[in-house]
Homo-oligomer: A and B are copies of this chain.
Amino acid sequence: MPKFATVAKRLVLGRPFRSDRLSHTLLPKRIALPIFASDALSSVAYAPEEIFLTLSVAGLSAYALAPWIGVAVAVVMLVVVASYRQNVHAYPSGGGDYEVATTNLGGRFGLTVASALLVDYVLTVAVSTSSGVANIGSAIPFVADHKVLWSVLIVATLTALNLRGVRESGKAFAIPTYGFIIGILAMVLWGLFEAVRGTPMRAESAGFQLHEEASLAGFAFVFLILRSFSSGAAALTGVEAISNGVPAFRKPKSKNAATTLLLMGVLAVTMLIGIIALAIITGVKFAEDPATQLSGAPAGYQQKTIVTQIAHAVFQGFPPGFYYISFATGIILLLAANTAFNGFPVLGSILAQDRYLPRQLHTRGDRLAFSNGILFLAAFALVLIIAFDAEVTRLIQLYIVGVFVSFTVSQAGMIRHWNRLLARETDPAVRRKMRRSQTVNAVGLTCTGTVLVIVLITKFLLGAWIAIAAMVAIYLLMTAIRRHYDRVARELAETDGHEPTVLPSRNHAIVLVSKLHMPTLRALAYAKAVRPDVLEAVTVNVDDFDTRELTAEWDKHGFKVPLKVLESPYREITKPVVDYVKRVRGDNSRNVVTVFIPEYVVGRWWEQLLHNQSALRLKGRLLFQPGVMVTSVPWQLASSVKAVDRAMRARPAAGDVRRGLYESAERKENR
């Protein structure tokens, strides 16, 4: 089929993937980088901004500290990257921080990390979307004027796309991510080159005056600097993504993943420092509340993001440069928001395997469970976006705590990991290597632990408490689910007296009859096939006239099976049947009653609403009766045939590529 026709068909049909078309295709580094690093790289769009914004409270003089704070964030970033390179080598299975913490520190720490990551996914959606809208809004004022609305629309679109099933393709990630990297690096290089040449570059806010909110000194000033640093640490969000994706890399997986991680770290640090440098050079003023903090701004001034302000100054006289940076930044941020939709089911699946989340999240086939997860993620992200007016600054306060909880716990786990290996290892060369790795992780632990403490102190009242409360709630929910599963497993394992392997002594079969039509006849024939000890047909008298008609027809047909009529003065079906089944089984626990329920199967959901509701309810109730088997004998109506096709078609699910499920373009073309 020509390519265009395929694309057109996809757009129309929307469900082109059959599950047998899926195949494992491993990712080369050049594709893995954009897929796994878009989240981390995109955070350089907001991290520098948050540094300046926090410092703005102490007035312009505090801006001088921005480069130093930037350097501190960059150092932490490189330390964390170095640490995770150890993780990637030690745990190539893709379990990430959750696996490291569980294996080395026990389930509780694993669960702590998992709770932190789940909260983080929600915040990734909220922060990235809000920041994306702010960057696009810097180019299109109409978007900036309605940023909450646009953020909501974008989250709704991402949700719909992921519910419908969008394949993460390497290309879809590669183009915008490389577009962003190249754009920012070009801007930084050109800006520095121009600065060296002495070209004057002034941001649009360069001429504004920044009012000192309060003359801070001593402890308060230190506190402000720490707060600015912890806001800047938002640049580290998403760094751990590669450690969850090792299995999707080409071989040697760990080595390639570690290389990609390093590449990502270097790129992120370069862009971060570059942006901060240009912000200073172009004289950007960025305030939390421009209306009160800035003077000299025109009336109705809409504060643009720092990245776009720099782009405007650097590419002066070349507007496409400004628009390119605005949109490239906006798009990579929306891509980062989308990664949360993909990462969530992967983590959910691992947690479900460990029975901390409902089991159905474990298997890929469960679109329903996936959908619930996606809706859950979107709903909470929307609540945050609306509650915090899509303000990146206010959302950031909640964001960083979760990230650093999982960094810190993971690094602590790694130290234990090396201790365990060292205890067994005798080869001095290997031991030396292990010692070195352990040292890297120890530095990582110190660093991330310190940042975590700083974040907790400086952010707690500003919103971090919300994230912590959510983490605690999720932690408790997951332990409750696990406890329930454990209790059920224990109960299923104990035999306490009754021996289920003993064969039933008597099988009494009951065919439920409401009318004498095809499904009933088939159910009767099938019931005979199981050769029960007793076989009878049973009907419930809901309407005297109908029942008389049925019994007359029954007699006329001359079945050898007797038809028993159960009276139901209140025209309900369930209770008379359940009571009768109970009576028939009697007290002998070795007796079995098999209830055959003729059902006809229709194809469309609204048809299903009109049929078999009482059969469904009866089946549900009979399951509570000991010693009863419930057999559905289906009769397929014409409309059901189409439905089979519909149901068997598998659509791509969010997170497939991250799990190593991938539709290879070549294989598809060959069909």
Chain A residues with a Cβ under 8 A of chain B: 19, 22, 353, 358-360, 362-366, 368-369, 481, 484-485, 488-489, 491-495, 500-504, 507, 515, 517-519, 521-522, 524-526, 528-532, 542-543, 570-575, 578, 592, 594, 599-602, 607, 609-611, 613-614, 617, 619, 621-626, 628-638, 640, 643-644, 647-648, 650, 661
Query: Provided the pairs A501-B524, A592-B526 are in contact, do residues A369 and B570 lie with their beta carbons within 8 angstroms?
Result: no
Most chain B beta carbons < 10 A, residue from A485, A525, A543, A643: A525
Query: Provided the pairs A504-B525, A518-B493, A630-B632 are in contact, do residues A648 and B575 lie with their beta carbons within 8 angstroms?
Result: yes
| Among B364, B518, B628, contact of A572 (Cβ-Cβ < 8 Å) | B364
| Among B504, B624, B630, B644, contact of A529 (Cβ-Cβ < 8 Å) | B504
CB pair B629 A19 closer than 8 Å: no
A326 CA to B569 CA in the complex, in Å? 43
Interfacial chain B residues near A542, Cβ < 8 Å: 362-363
A341 CA to B329 CA in the complex, in Å? 57
Interfacial chain B residues near A507, Cβ < 8 Å: 529-530
Q: How far in angstroms is the closest Cβ of chain B from A665?
A: 19
A359 CA to B384 CA in the complex, in Å? 44
| Among B363, B570, B578, B599, contact of A22 (Cβ-Cβ < 8 Å) | B570
CB pair B530 A530 closer than 8 Å: yes
CB pair A594 B631 closer than 8 Å: yes
CB pair B543 A525 closer than 8 Å: no
| Among B359, B531, B571, B609, contact of A613 (Cβ-Cβ < 8 Å) | B359
6 A-B pairs within 8 Å (CB atoms) are namely: A363-B573, A366-B617, A492-B637, A500-B635, A572-B650, A599-B623
Nearest opposing residue in chain B for A22, CB measure: B570
A440 CA to B635 CA in the complex, in Å? 53
Q: How far in angstroms is the closest Cβ of chain B from A18?
A: 10
A543 CA to B362 CA in the complex, in Å? 10
CB pair B530 A502 closer than 8 Å: no
Query: Provided the pairs A614-B366, A623-B634 are in contact, do residues A502 and B517 lie with their beta carbons within 8 angstroms?
Result: no
Query: Provided the pairs A571-B365, A594-B530, A607-B484 are in contact, do residues A492 and B518 lie with their beta carbons within 8 angstroms?
Result: yes
A366 CA to B609 CA in the complex, in Å? 14
Most chain B beta carbons < 10 A, residue from A360, A515, A637: A360
CB pair A492 B517 closer than 8 Å: yes
A519 CA to B485 CA in the complex, in Å? 15
CB pair A624 B631 closer than 8 Å: no
Give me the 7 closest cross-chain CB pairs, A-B, nearest first: A365-B572, A530-B530, A500-B522, A492-B517, A360-B613, A623-B634, A500-B521
Q: How far in angstroms is the closest Cβ of chain B from A529?
A: 4
Interfacial chain B residues near A632, Cβ < 8 Å: 619, 623, 629-631
Query: Provided the pairs A525-B501, A630-B631 are in contact, do residues A636 and B624 lie with their beta carbons within 8 angstroms?
Result: yes
